[in-house]
């Protein structure tokens, strides 16, 4: 079933047009077979049009090339119906998990990670070192480095990652603010894990809070002034190609305990300010200001369980999230050492390079002003500007961002100083290209479901 979706910043049209441009010039056998359905979308009979549309929808993602073809049809009714279907199909294709097939035979963990890097194309960094053998039946640990054998076929990224981490007892580092996946020792396989497309979610813990208001008068109605709340903490993980920029308050669709009592929280007037608005007026954001990150934590609000209930039999819901789906690199200056005083404008953002300084120990500083003319009130942009800027040498080797300092000005204007450096790794040349990444974002709803969770 396709989820309802919205694309930020007009990106949907761009994605669709790019898809058309990439379509093969020769009509495939599938499109030839589907031509009657395409033509039926423009039939004079309304019932025939509706039936054809239902058949296309029932095909799921297999219908995407059909709908793309129909979107440029000569009949306006065919185009109208195709463009109505296209957003959901494009969205489903984007967030569906990529699948990988590769084998690793009798390799240490370093070789396993190298094979995964090659298969997925992701930057995966091994910080675990050597992984030893587990103790044998006699309690003794065999000497040498442990070897692993895997034969993954049509497996998702998280299926591969979870299997390797479970076997080698590794874990993914939460967030460094870049596109590298870092693996460390100490991984523990969570008891409650679920997957939704390209996303993984885990249950962390329950927290129960009870309160008695002792400031109420002595003759107050018995029982009033008491409150109790229960929250379920979750961690969401995305594939590296789509890091999170934020998450909104989860919506609970089903929640019942093992005595069949509902645990869906009741929204009171106090929770939405008494203004008569539907849903919770008090919104919680877990986005950390819009920084890109591989995982986010959210809390699911639940009502207290029935008397005597010991387990949460079923909980289902969705978490609205914001994703970074594309990063378009744009060169602000191709020679930063000679860029003092120069201005450049990209995607409605103006950069004014005020100064460049070379520092000891392969470090340098770039002082500049940023003016977000396109969206001066976008504070997410202001919070994340340092994540969007990179410095490279002439060969494309990236300098590390060692920190930033900035001051505000008029709306959308910032004065920044970024310090870049290089320590260890490949040899690096003098700083050259100063690059800004334009972000394309998208909203999505991640579905979660857990059964038989022990209650506190």
365-377 residue pLDDT tens: 999 999 999 888 8
Residue matched to tokens 């395409």: 38
With cut-offs at 50, 70 and 90, classify the pLDDT of residue 28.
low
Residue 279 has pLDDT above 50, yes or no: no
Q: What are the tens digits of pLDDT across the range 249-263? A: 999 999 999 999 999
Residue 139 has pLDDT above 90, yes or no: no
Cα angle 337, 341, 343; round to 5: 100
Task: Specify the pLDDT at position 149.
Answer: 96
Residue 353 has pLDDT above 90, yes or no: yes
Centroid of chain to Cα 66: 28
Helix (H, G, I), strand (E, B) or coil at 217: coil
The candidate with the shortest Cα–Cα distance to 386, out of 398, 397, 402, is 402
Enumerate domains of the chain plus CATH numbers: 6-94 (no CATH), 97-189 (3.55.50.30), 326-439 (2.60.40)
DSSP character at residue 176: -
Centroid of chain to Cα 14: 20
Q: What are the tens digits of pLDDT across the range 96-115? A: 999 999 999 999 999 999 99
Task: Specify the pLDDT at position 179.
Answer: 81
Q: Quick one: what percent of the chain has pLDDT higher than 70?
A: 86
Helix (H, G, I), strand (E, B) or coil at 272: helix
With cut-offs at 50, 70 and 90, classify the pLDDT of residue 173.
confident
Q: Are 149 and 105 in contact (CB under 8 A)?
A: yes
Centroid of chain to Cα 241: 8
Q: What are the tens digits of pLDDT across the range 305-327? A: 999 999 999 999 999 999 999 88
Specify the pairing of strand 311-333 against strand 193-196. Answer: unpaired
Task: Specify the pLDDT at position 295.
Answer: 92
Task: Specify the pLDDT at position 262.
Answer: 95
Torsion of CA 178, 183, 186, 191, to 10 degrees: 80
| Alpha-carbon span 309 to 262, nearest angstrom | 11
The mean pLDDT of the chain is: 84
CA distances to 46, 97, 375 from 191, rounded to whole Å, are: 52, 22, 44
Residue matched to tokens 């920044």: 416
Task: Give mean pLDDT, residues 393-414.
Answer: 85
Task: Give mean pLDDT, residues 29-35.
Answer: 68
Task: Specify the pLDDT at position 115.
Answer: 95
Q: How many CB atoms lie within 10 A of CB 348?
A: 13
Residue 278 has pLDDT above 70, yes or no: no
Q: What is the CA radius of gyration of the chain?
A: 27
Cα angle 148, 151, 152; round to 5: 120
CA distances to 50, 194, 349 from 317, rounded to whole Å, are: 31, 12, 38
| Alpha-carbon span 233 to 263, nearest angstrom | 15
With cut-offs at 50, 70 and 90, classify the pLDDT of residue 88.
confident
Task: Specify the pLDDT at position 298.
Answer: 94
Q: Are 294 and 181 in contact (CB under 8 A)?
A: yes
With cut-offs at 50, 70 and 90, classify the pLDDT of residue 29.
low
Q: What are the tens digits of pLDDT across the range 1-14? A: 333 333 333 343 34
Output the DSSP codes for 359-421.
ETTTEEEEEEEEEE-S-TT-HHHHHHGGGGEEEEETT-PBPEEEEEEEEE-STTEEEEEEEEE
Strands (E), 179-279: 180-185, 193-196, 199-212, 226-238, 244-247, 251-257
Task: Specify the pLDDT at position 273.
Answer: 43
Sequence-ordered list of residues with C-beta below 8 angstroms from that of 143, at least 6 positions apart, any chain:
133
Cα angle 370, 373, 376; round to 5: 90
| Alpha-carbon span 97 to 77, nearest angstrom | 33
With cut-offs at 50, 70 and 90, classify the pLDDT of residue 176.
low
Strands (E), 258-310: 295-302
Residue 275 has pLDDT above 80, yes or no: no
Task: Specify the pLDDT at position 137.
Answer: 84
| Alpha-carbon span 242 to 288, nearest angstrom | 16
């Amino acid at each position: 079933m396709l989820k309802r979706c919205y694309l930020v910043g007009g990106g949907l049209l761009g994605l669709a047009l790019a898809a058309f441009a990439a379509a093969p010039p020769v009509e495939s056998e599938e499109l030839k077979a589907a031509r009657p359905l395409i033509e039926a979308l423009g039939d004079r009979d309304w019932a025939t049009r509706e039936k054809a549309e239902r058949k296309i929808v029932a095909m799921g993602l297999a219908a995407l090339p059909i709908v793309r073809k129909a979107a440029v049809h000569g009949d306006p009714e065919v185009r109208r119906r195709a463009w109505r279907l296209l957003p959901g199909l494009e969205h489903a294709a984007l967030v569906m998990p990529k699948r990988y097939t590769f084998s690793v035979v009798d390799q240490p963990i370093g070789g396993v990670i190298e094979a995964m890097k090659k298969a997925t194309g992701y930057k995966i960094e091994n910080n675990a070192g050597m992984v030893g053998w587990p103790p044998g039946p006699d309690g003794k640990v065999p000497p040498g480095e442990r070897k692993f054998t895997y034969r993954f076929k049509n497996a998702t990224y998280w299926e591969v990652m979870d299997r390797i981490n479970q076997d080698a007892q590794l874990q993914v580092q939460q967030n460094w603010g870049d596109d590298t996946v870092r693996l460390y020792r100490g991984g523990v396989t969570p008891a409650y894990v679920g997957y939704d497309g390209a996303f993984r979610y885990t249950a962390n813990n329950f927290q129960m809070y009870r309160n008695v208001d002792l400031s109420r008068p002595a003759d107050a109605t018995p029982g009033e002034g008491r409150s109790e709340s229960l929250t379920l903490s979750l961690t969401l993980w995305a594939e590296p190609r789509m890091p999170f920029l934020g998450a909104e308050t989860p919506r609970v669709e089903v929640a019942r305990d093992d005595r069949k009592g509902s645990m869906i929280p009741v929204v009171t007037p106090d929770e939405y300010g008494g203004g008569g608005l539907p849903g919770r007026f008090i919104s919680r954001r877990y986005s950390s200001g819009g920084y890109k990150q591989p995982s986010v934590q959210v809390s699911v609000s639940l009502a207290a369980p029935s008397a005597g209930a010991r387990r949460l039999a079923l909980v289902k819901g969705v978490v609205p999230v914001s994703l970074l789906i594309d990063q378009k690199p744009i060169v602000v200056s191709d020679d930063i050492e000679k860029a003092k005083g120069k201005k450049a404008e990209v995607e409605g953002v103006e950069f004014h390079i005020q100064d460049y300084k070379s520092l000891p120990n392969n470090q340098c500083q770039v002082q500049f002003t940023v003016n977000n003319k396109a969206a001066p009130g976008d504070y997410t942009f202001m919070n994340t500007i340092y994540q969007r800027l990179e410095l490279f040498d002439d060969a494309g080797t990236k300098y590390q961002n060692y920190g930033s300092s900035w001051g505000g000005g008029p709306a959308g204007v910032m004065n920044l100083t970024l310090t870049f450096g290089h320590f260890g790794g490949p040899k690096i040349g003098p700083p050259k290209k100063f690059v800004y990444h334009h972000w394309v974002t998208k909203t999505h709803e991640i579905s979660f479901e857990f059964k038989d969770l022990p209650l506190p």
